[in-house]
Chains A and B, each alone.
Chain A
Amino acid sequence: MSRYFTRLKKRRVYSWIGRPSTIDRKLKHVFYEGLCIKTDGNANTGCIRPGHYILIEGDEDRSYVAKLLKLYDDGTGTRSSKHAEVQWFVRFHEVPQNKRKQLGRDPHPNEVFLYEIPNCDSDIDAETIITTVQVQHLEEDSPFPAAQSQENPLYVKLSWDGKNFSPVNLDLLLQSGGKPMLPASSHTDSLPKPDLEVSRGLAVDSPSRPTRSARQQHSSTSKYSQSKELSDRQPSNVISTPTARKKLQLSNSVKPPGSKLTRDDVLAELLDEDRAVSSLEAEVTRRRAVASKPSSSPSKKPRDLCIRLSPIRGGQITQDHQLANRIQIGPRLQPEELVKRTLKRESGAESTEGETPSKRKDSIKKDAPLDILIEDGGEAGGPVVTMTPRSRRKSAQVSSARIRQQLNYLNRNQSTDFDVDDDEEDVFLPTKKDLRSSSEEESESESESESESVTGRRGSRSAVPRTPRSSRKAPSRTPAKTPNKTPRRTPSKTPVPRTPRTPRHATPSIPSRTQPARKPGNVLEEARARLHVSSVPESLPCREQEFQDIFNFVESKVMDGTGGCMYISGVPGTGKTATVHEVIRCLHHAAEQDELPSFCFIEINGMKMTEPHQAYVQILQMLTGQKATAEHAAALLEKRFSTPAPKRETTVLLVDELDLLWTRKQNVMYNLFDWPTHRQAKLVVLAIANTMDLPERIMINRVASRLGLTRMSFQPYSYKQLQQIITSRLNRVRAFEDDALQLVSRKVAALSGDARRCLDICRRATEICEFSSQRSGSGLVAMSHVMEALDEMFSSPYITAIRCASVQEQIFLKAVIAEFRRLGLEEATFQQVFRQHLALCRVEGLSSVCMSEGLATCLRLGACRLLLLESSHRDLHLRVRLNVSQDDVLYALKEG
């Protein structure tokens, strides 16, 4: 369990920056111009301002995307007093499954949709902001940019209003933040997007940068190329690095070669000063992508700096790149990717000095797309490998594997990513078992269900928080530590079943029929079709009150976005499930008409699962399409329902046959009724069972208490109601005589009030009528037909069975009764009965039977349950009882 919460352990510290700008007097809200996020255990801070696109903590390990509109403090001074107003974006997987088809194409993995549902809660706790992200607007018909690195910006093409996708209204997008789709850096840069593209294109095309272009085209998950791109696009993007840290690293880093160093230093100084205003964009983004991974290793900083420094120097971006690259060549900036790059272009030997293991690890983490290495072959890869101690490589591999998982998680739908991974494997593969396993895991998570990728992700995350500490404290320990972590992750992967399972893409379906189904030919057939339980009636008569109650309950919960439970009881066949379905149908209709927020409806049935815990699996599957084991599903659901998610639509969960979800600890029921009590869950549970006092009888107190007192009980139908139901179903198809209908409904009402039974009898009566009318004629179902049907269904078969039994069997039954009378008991042994049997045979003048035959007779009667017998190995001492009343037996035998 604790694994799921590891992310929470990495605390972030939030503080306002800038002076409180506006004061809303009425609300005592104090608006700020920025929010500073400082990650615990990591000296980096980032600043977020209105207009930025941000990632917000979401459920199920996914973050939400939004645009920050306002930042304010509500003045209460409590921990959660920081608020932010946002314009939401949704990712494709957040769109309800049944609506996804409306997109009409495959979503881009990095695609988000502007969320335009008006009454959505746009006020969030500012402390759930994770980081900033880059969002680009694209024209609806323009293709997505080819380069799909993990860190690529998110793209907006369409907006989602809860029902349809429609092109984004750009004004809307711009109006609130003032800033267009650029990742919000604070500076003068107002280069319109196309220019950026151009500039990037320039950089790509520039012949002087072969490696770069290669990298960009191959794309990939490179953090580095990403940050590079970022810097390309946002010349003014600046990093705020704590001074102390930078100092440290400056002092650490060695022998600055002349002019370049000084330039760097100057820039660094500048940056420091600029820090308060600068935003953390790229840096933060990277951190996020690497699973909020350390990023703390000191020696990384300078590289970031130099990368980002370049843009500052003004307009000529390509030159900046060159400059930046040149700066990076300096030996004090050893990040691995730089090393590799430089190795490639120049002599590889220069750069490894002063490299710490942790450094190396980090850099490799960032350096996911090693396709460069592959392309350039051994000359680039060779030197690096030889220069690095083996242990470092191990740790690097481990961490890179982990990174890949992480990245993988970030855009798990991106298929190109897969190839890159393969490439990476080629580079790193040698001997590392853990690497292989992680890549397996990864490929699984790619190709298979979501759940596995979740597993993988979880595993990688759990390892994350440790890394920074270890690398900071004692870099040399990292290699030793990493192996420890690997096995920990491996088990997390074990839930992924490797056993042969049902073929992946088997679609459950029944082949189609060869001949078309026959249409009802006459009135009786028509009536029969209408009377079948399966045909959905136009309305549900006689359940108006119950319908209204349930409707009001669900509607109010959906309206308020709260949760609740309702318990519905009633004997079988009283329309419980049908009524709930009808309610849901109406509510869906209302939602379509915009009278109600949309909601999603899922249904589970205790009888349709093999054991209670499967409920979790089914709910999860219906909610998110994920497959998971019961345990895992429970954890995921728990997490989903306990984390806030303002955009989540209400879920209505129908639990049919609730009593079958009973377990000894009752944890399934407990969870089902506990989730709705979470404020954020927005879950409405409708539980259905047969017995009215089920909560009191089988539930322990804490479960019953959570179920609450919203109860509803469906009374068995009265005969008038049954009559009405049949009439309404027949809907003016005249097939029954009124008397006949009344007879059926009275009979059923007297017995059970089960509407199903009533319909069955009517159907049977029409069949009988049809059969007899072939001879006689009249088309209406009359009393006689109904009587016959009733007889068929309600008459006990015992008497007929006795009459049809063989003579010996009948005599044996007589003997049983005679023996019972003699003994005054309702039980006798076979031996005793058999003596009576022989005597009776003599009286009847039949030839006597032997013991073996007698026993066979007795067992035959036992098999059809006219007699109740012990198991036959007791032979003579077999105890015999009657399963019918003695009177019935005598009656049957007398007549016969």
Chain B
Amino acid sequence: MELLIAPAPQSAAWSRRGVPACKARGQEARGKTSGSRRRLPRGWRSEVKGLLQTDDRIALKEITRQLHLENVVGDKVFGSFAENLAFLLEALKKGDRSSSRPVLFILDEFDLFAHHKNQTLLYNLFDVSQSAQTPVAVIGLTCRLDVLELLEKRVKSRFSHRQIHLLSSFRFKQYLEIFKMQLSLPEDFTDRRFAEEWNQNIKSLCEDRSVEDVLQKHFCSSKDFRSLHMLLMLALSRVTVSHPAIKPTDLLEVSRLCTMDSKANILHGLSVLELCLIIAMKHLNDIYDGEPFNFQMVHNEFQKFIQRKSHSVHNFEKPVVIKAFEHLHQLELIKPMEGPSVRTQKEYQLVKLLLDNSQIMDALQKYPQCPTDVKQWAASAFG
């Protein structure tokens, strides 16, 4: 598995003295976190996450807690931010290479730490790693490629500029291997016979043409494992006692689920009136080239259609139409414009349609028992 390019030099350096700050980074779901957790020796480590420790104050407390410094009482850290910082720095300063235990800091969502005020935490961690104090290694994990630009210049200068990019540079063949490996049962699975059957099934699955197509499509759209896992998870959940193996059809079905257009699906659940409003909006979009519109305009458009085709579509009262319009708003198929028009009356508030023409046409094709007039109206160039 490609999980880590975590190089030998690094772990060697780790056991000797503080590795200067180094950052692993890659796109999301490439195994940055699990990799760094797995490969590095179980030393003294402190792991903080940018999404949980949203500022330096909390991060410091968390670090102090994880390091079990002496100002930790039970599981709590007392004292002000300033005290905590001074304490931690003092602690790290007192240590030296030969006598104190090396400390590993893992900063998950590293880019978020760069947004903390003054980047105090980063500066201090880097500074310790660059000076003859307690040996520390700082590992930052992020998916942003431009994270260095976020660092202040004095922080950047202290950063060792070692970056490990975890990019998924594999080909489809390897992807297939991974797929197989993920699904296979281990050798020491309790039910031997089942495991053999299962693995056999997986093997044949990999050779199936349609499965390969599904995976190929998936591979094209995204190489990351999180989406592959999602796909496999859905497929696996179809396995029952009566249906003890994954069939190619399952995968096809699941793949269809995964790649479904969510908005088009919503359109299928709309009433005819709401659909008519959507079509009116589509026409408005065509006429005005994407400019925002308000309810009144939509209503006018709708009225024109009604007048032409009064025999086939029931004429609705205006309040009913407003209600339908609001419903569309709630479904977030339309979105009010930001800006000064926010406070105006509902009917005149400017909105935009969040649907593409192609989506609307697709939905109309699949809409059950759609009146022909409505379909024609949608297809016609102008209202």
Contact = CB atoms under 8 A, between A and B. Distances in A.
Q: Do A and B bind each other?
A: yes
Interface of A: 500-503, 506-514, 516-518, 520, 525, 528-529, 532-536, 571-573, 607-611, 614, 617-618, 657, 660, 690, 752, 754, 756-757, 760-761, 763-764, 767-768, 770-771, 792-793, 797-798, 800-801, 803-809, 831, 834-835, 838, 846-847, 849-853, 856-857, 860, 863-866, 874-877, 883
A857 B217 CA distance: 13
A614 B143 CA distance: 35
Contact of B157 (A535, A609, A757, A764): A757
Contacts of B165: 797, 800-801
Contacts of B131: 533-534
Contact of B124 (A528, A608, A611, A660): A608
**Chain B interface, DSSP helix/strand/loop, else mixed:** mixed
B263 A851 contact: yes
Contact of A852 (B135, B169, B262): B262
B101 A514 contact: yes
A510 B101 contact: yes
29 contacts: A500-B73, A501-B78, A501-B83, A508-B69, A509-B95, A510-B101, A512-B101, A572-B158, A608-B86, A608-B127, A609-B82, A610-B85, A614-B82, A657-B154, A756-B158, A757-B161, A767-B9, A797-B165, A798-B145, A800-B167, A803-B169, A804-B168, A806-B222, A838-B358, A850-B261, A851-B356, A863-B143, A865-B144, A883-B146
Nearest to B16: A518
A806 B260 contact: no
B349 to A, nearest CB: 16
Contacts of A804: 167-169, 223
B345 interface: no
Given A513-B100, A801-B27, A850-B259, A875 B354 contact: yes
B335 interface: yes
B105 to A, nearest CB: 13
Given A501-B78, A806-B221, 4 more contacts: A764-B162, A798-B145, A803-B169, A851-B263
B241 interface: no
A534 B93 CA distance: 12
A534 B262 contact: no
Contact of B94 (A508, A514, A760, A835): A508
Nearest to A690: B154
B102 interface: yes
Nearest to A505: B70
A130 to B, nearest CB: 36
Closest 7 CB pairs of A and B: A572-B157, A508-B91, A850-B261, A506-B70, A804-B167, A508-B90, A502-B71
Contacts of A797: 145, 163, 165
Interface in B113-138: 118, 120, 123-124, 127, 130-135
Nearest to A574: B157
B58 to A, nearest CB: 13
A510 B94 contact: yes
B245 interface: no
A824 to B, nearest CB: 17
A852 B264 CA distance: 10
Contacts of B381: none
Contact of A510 (B95, B144, B161, B224): B95
B220 A846 contact: yes
Contacts of A835: 356
B82 A857 contact: no
A208 B168 CA distance: 99
Contact of B83 (A502, A768, A807, A856): A502
A847 B133 contact: no
A162 B258 CA distance: 79
A291 B146 CA distance: 64
B156 interface: yes
Nearest to B131: A534
A864 B27 contact: yes
Given A509-B70, A657-B154, A808-B221, A756 B130 contact: yes
Nearest to A515: B15
Contact of A793 (B28, B161, B217): B161
A508 B88 contact: yes
Contacts of B92: 510
Interface string B139-152: 00001111000000
Contact of A860 (B95, B124, B222): B222
A506 B84 CA distance: 12
Contacts of B82: 609-611, 614, 617
B259 A863 contact: no
Interface of B: 7-9, 13, 15-18, 20, 27-28, 44, 56-57, 67, 69-71, 73, 77-79, 81-92, 94-95, 97-103, 118, 120, 123-124, 127, 130-135, 143-146, 153-154, 156-158, 160-163, 165, 167-169, 217, 219-224, 259-264, 332, 335, 352, 354-356, 358-359
A752 B156 CA distance: 12
A618 B158 CA distance: 23
Contacts of A849: 221, 259
B120 A610 contact: yes
A607 B161 contact: no
A607 B220 contact: no
A573 B127 CA distance: 12
B352 A853 contact: no
Contacts of A834: 356
A529 B17 contact: yes
A835 to B, nearest CB: 8
B62 to A, nearest CB: 16
A510 B124 contact: no
B261 A760 contact: no
Contacts of A860: 27-28, 222, 224
A763 B103 CA distance: 21
A585 to B, nearest CB: 14
Contacts of B102: 513
Contacts of A875: 332, 335, 354
A853 B44 CA distance: 42
A854 to B, nearest CB: 9
B154 A510 contact: no
Contacts of A610: 56-57, 81-82, 85, 120
For A529, A536, A847, the residue with the greatest tally of chain B CB atoms inside 10 Å of its CB is A847
Contacts of A831: 356
A628 to B, nearest CB: 12
A572 B94 contact: no
Nearest to A529: B17
A806 B87 CA distance: 47
Contacts of A800: 165, 167
Contact of B97 (A507, A517, A618): A517
Given A500-B78, A508-B94, A572 B154 contact: yes
A760 B85 contact: no
Nearest to B28: A863
Contacts of A502: 71, 77-79, 83-84, 87
Contact of B101 (A511, A528, A764): A511
A793 B163 CA distance: 7
B86 A618 contact: yes
B220 A807 contact: yes
Most B Cβ at <10 Å: residue of A514, A657, A860 = A860
A760 B163 CA distance: 12
Contacts of A533: 20, 130-131
A865 B221 contact: no
Nearest to A660: B118
A545 B274 CA distance: 81
B100 A852 contact: no
A716 to B, nearest CB: 11
A503 B71 contact: yes
Contacts of B94: 508-510
Contacts of B223: 804-806
Contact of B85 (A608, A657, A864): A608
A421 B167 CA distance: 71
Given A607-B123, A864-B27, A517 B16 contact: yes
